[in-house]
A and B are shown apart, each in its own frame.
Chain A
Amino acid sequence: MKRGPIRDCPPAKPERDMKRQTAKSLSGIQNRFLRALVSPLTPQFRTPRSASVRPALRDLAPNSRLDARERFELYHRQYWFRVWDCFYEDFPGLRAMLGEKKFDALSNAYLLRHPSRSFTLRNLGDRLADFIRRHPRLTAPRTLLALGIVRVEWAQIEAFDRAEFPALDLSSLPPERLLRTKIFLQPHVQLLALDHPVDRMLLHFKRREEFRGAASNAVSDSRHRIRSRTFRILPARPTWLAVHRHDFQVYYKNLTPPAFRILQKFQKGSTLAAAISDPVLSKKFKVTPGQIQDWFADWSSLGWLTTHSQKQAH
């Protein structure tokens, strides 16, 4: 193999010193670059002339067509467009409810506080609900609704690709063994207690967007502007919801409070006997054995129950 000469070969130094210095230099360059990369763009989507990026720019060489700032800017803009796109895709309902300006302010605040810590962008929004709780002014005056929407939209992501174990086979278990078997909820089934009927609002929004998409052919671009009036806000009403996957599609299913309570027990792992012996079920909710039997049959037919724990998914 033909090789060219090594350019700018540094003068010989004691091996240990050289190693320490070069290692420091390489990591230092990368630290400065990343710090600048995750710092905000200007409102015109440009790299600012601020102290946050200056150290990184000093490491970069210009060429005959672009200076160091312009070369860095190609990466800087790309970083922000990528994470914004991801947010637009993952939280379209929140964006529509809040409106463009508020959603952008929320996303920027969140992404500055929580840049991606995962090898996959799938997890980018995993702390958004918690962030909204800690910074309610960013979504005021509809913080509770914003929180509900984020929880449902995040649950959709979880329901889409979380594990599904072999479902509990009722026919293989005699009734007395069934009562003693520890049962778990499938990892893809997400249980949410909400203050608003967010599922109905999101379904309405989705239908409106699909209609708009069919009419304007604009829905394929996640950056297209959503008009907040397409999001119909319904009055607050306690809602118990399961977001789950069936035949590789994500669905919502409304639950009654006692059914929700039993499923919560299965989520942690419980025998059927322990789950239904909860005194609250009979005393507060007046649940009958027939109702429990119907729910159990329904959940089993949907494949929600399994004998595998969530830990096995990891």
Chain B
Amino acid sequence: MGPGFFILCVSPTRTGTRFMNPHLPSGKIPRAGVGIGLRSVHYPHILSKKPRIDWFEIISENFILEGGRPLHILDRILEDYPVVQHGVSLYFGSPGPLDKSLLRGLKKLVRKTKTPWLSDHLCWGSVDGTSSHDLLPLPYTREAVRRTARKIRQTRDFLEVPVAVENVSSYAEFHDSEMTEWEFLSEVAEAADCGILLDVNNIYVSSFNHGFEPLDYLHNVPHGRVVQIHLAGHARYERFIIDTHNDFVIDPVWNLYAKAIGLCGPVPTLLEWDSEIPDFDTVHKEALKARRYLENQRAVA
């Protein structure tokens, strides 16, 4: 690996029976809707061509600003499209309290976007206010379950919007872990009574990096809590996979996706493309592949 590669893990998930039925909004985001992550290189195309797309997902932190072009663009996007907020900085698993300035910024943004739910990652990333700006994996311990669940509930209560947590792709594991990643995700979602944003690509990436069977993961999460699915491309090296979001979704990940919607139902699905981003039509076309899977799944159901 050269000094130029870079990791990116920016995405959300969906929920289970108890969470999903009462909380998943009706109407705004179609149940089997397919969305794209909103990225600045596509602004001119979206604003001028107004492509038909079910919804956009934004990275909340990019819009927690006082003013300027990003907020102006967001206002214009909101005139035409539903928007779901996805974050990268809440760090539910970090020690210490939640970042109050971030929460205040998110609350203001939630009021603007009217996001039906807000997602962030099941990870940690800061200690005593020093931030890694990365989505770091947690040791899968009961203490970590209690801490993350408590902070997810605090976030939901403060923002007054349903919260979903996303499984991250990871490259390291801790000796102290007491359970598998999917057990950890399930425990947290149950304890917090929150949704899950299931990133199918992240399951694939982590399964390679840690040597587990991705289907074990898929079969053992609370399907009724999955409110959203993420798809993305990645970069494969000889000994590990990096979650780069810089390419098309590979076939094994599409196959996992087909199995995921078979288990979770036709969940809103979003394609992330964050690096080496091609033109809008290429990204849109890739995202629309998900629609074929969703339609097949509906036909089977």
A residues sitting closer than 8 Å to B (CB atoms) are 1-4, 6-10, 19, 22-23, 25-27, 29-31, 33-34, 37-38, 45, 59-61, 63-66, 68, 70-72, 74-75, 77-79, 81-83, 85, 115-121, 160-164, 187-188, 223, 245, 248, 313-314
Chain B residues with CB under 8 A of A27: 95, 127
A34 touches B142 (CB 8 A): no
Q: Does B179 contact A (CB under 8 A)?
A: yes
A121 touches B133 (CB 8 A): yes
Min distance, Cβ B146 to any Cβ of chain A, angstroms: 9
> Interface centre among A10, A116, A118, A187, by most B CB within 10 Å?
A118
Among B67, B99, B144, point to the contact of A188 (Cβ < 8 A): B67
Number of CB contacts from chain A to chain B under 8 A: 165
B130 touches A34 (CB 8 A): yes
Chain A residues with CB under 8 A of B124: 30
Compute how far the CA of A121 lies from the CA of B261 in the bound complex, rounded to whole angstroms: 35
Chain B residues with CB under 8 A of A118: 131
Min distance, Cβ A281 to any Cβ of chain B, angstroms: 31
Chain A residues with CB under 8 A of B47: none
Min distance, Cβ A107 to any Cβ of chain B, angstroms: 15
A29 touches B210 (CB 8 A): no
Chain A residues with CB under 8 A of B147: 26
Please choose the segment from B2-10, B157-165, B291-299 that sits at the chain A interface, where 4 or more of its residues have CB less than 8 A away: B2-10
Compute how far the CA of A64 lies from the CA of B212 in the bound complex, rounded to whole angstroms: 12
State whether A4 and B183 are in contact (beta carbons under 8 Å apart), knowing that A26-B147, A66-B239, A79-B132 are contacts in the complex: yes
State whether A66 and B132 are in contact (beta carbons under 8 Å apart), knowing that A6-B178, A29-B139 are contacts in the complex: no
B136 touches A33 (CB 8 A): yes
Smallest CB gap from B91: residue in A: A119
> Interface centre among A9, A63, A66, by most B CB within 10 Å?
A63
State whether A115 and B68 are in contact (beta carbons under 8 Å apart), knowing that A26-B144, A60-B175, A63-B211 are contacts in the complex: no
Please choose the segment from B78-86, B111-119, B166-174, B250-258 that sits at the chain A interface, where 4 or more of its residues have CB less than 8 A away: B166-174
Could you show 26 A-B contacts with beta carbons less than 8 Å apart?
Answer: A1-B186, A7-B177, A7-B180, A26-B143, A30-B127, A31-B95, A34-B127, A37-B132, A37-B134, A59-B139, A60-B174, A60-B175, A61-B173, A63-B210, A64-B211, A65-B240, A72-B172, A75-B172, A116-B130, A117-B131, A120-B64, A120-B89, A161-B70, A163-B66, A313-B66, A314-B66
Smallest CB gap from B106: residue in A: A119
Chain B residues with CB under 8 A of A6: 178-179, 183
Compute how far the CA of A57 lies from the CA of B44 in the bound complex, rounded to whole angstroms: 46
A22 touches B134 (CB 8 A): no
Compute how far the CA of A37 lies from the CA of B134 in the bound complex, rounded to whole angstroms: 10
Compute how far the CA of A77 lies from the CA of B3 in the bound complex, rounded to whole angstroms: 8
A59 touches B175 (CB 8 A): yes
Compute how far the CA of A306 lies from the CA of B256 in the bound complex, rounded to whole angstroms: 56
Chain A residues with CB under 8 A of B102: 119
Chain A residues with CB under 8 A of B6: 78, 81-82, 85
13 other contacts beyond A4-B180, A63-B211, A79-B133, with CB at 8 A cut-off? A1-B222, A6-B179, A7-B179, A8-B177, A8-B178, A22-B142, A29-B139, A59-B176, A60-B172, A66-B240, A77-B1, A162-B66, A248-B72
B240 touches A29 (CB 8 A): no
C-beta contact mask, B7-50 vs A, less than 8 Å → 1, else 0? 10000000010000000000000000000000000000000000
Q: Which of B64-111 contact A (CB under 8 A)?
A: 64-72, 89, 94-95, 99, 101-102
Q: Does B141 contact A (CB under 8 A)?
A: yes
Give the interface size class of chain B. Answer: 35 or more
Compute how far the CA of A10 lies from the CA of B176 in the bound complex, rounded to whole angstroms: 10
Compute how far the CA of A117 lies from the CA of B209 in the bound complex, rounded to whole angstroms: 30
B171 touches A75 (CB 8 A): yes
Compute how far the CA of A64 lies from the CA of B1 in the bound complex, rounded to whole angstroms: 18
A161 touches B183 (CB 8 A): no
B130 touches A117 (CB 8 A): yes
Min distance, Cβ B220 to any Cβ of chain A, angstroms: 6
Chain A residues with CB under 8 A of B67: 161-164, 187-188, 313
C-beta contact mask, B228-263 vs A, less than 8 Å → 1, else 0? 000000000001101000000000000000000000
Chain B residues with CB under 8 A of A19: 143
Chain A residues with CB under 8 A of B70: 161
B66 touches A26 (CB 8 A): no
State whether A29 and B61 are in contact (beta carbons under 8 Å apart), knowing that A34-B132, A163-B67 are contacts in the complex: no
Q: Which of B121-154 contact A (CB under 8 A)?
A: 124, 126-127, 129-134, 136, 139, 141-144, 147
B134 touches A78 (CB 8 A): yes
Chain A residues with CB under 8 A of B131: 115-119
Chain B residues with CB under 8 A of A45: 3
Chain A residues with CB under 8 A of B174: 29, 59-61
Q: Does B289 contact A (CB under 8 A)?
A: no
Chain B residues with CB under 8 A of A245: 68
Chain B residues with CB under 8 A of A4: 180, 182-183, 216, 220
B178 touches A34 (CB 8 A): no
Min distance, Cβ B268 to any Cβ of chain A, angstroms: 21
Chain B residues with CB under 8 A of A70: 239
Compute how far the CA of A215 lies from the CA of B67 in the bound complex, rounded to whole angstroms: 34
Min distance, Cβ A182 to any Cβ of chain B, angstroms: 20
Chain A residues with CB under 8 A of B177: 7-8, 61
Compute how far the CA of A138 lies from the CA of B294 in the bound complex, rounded to whole angstroms: 58
Chain A residues with CB under 8 A of B3: 45, 77, 81
B72 touches A31 (CB 8 A): no
B172 touches A29 (CB 8 A): no
A63 touches B127 (CB 8 A): no
Smallest CB gap from B239: residue in A: A65
A26 touches B173 (CB 8 A): no
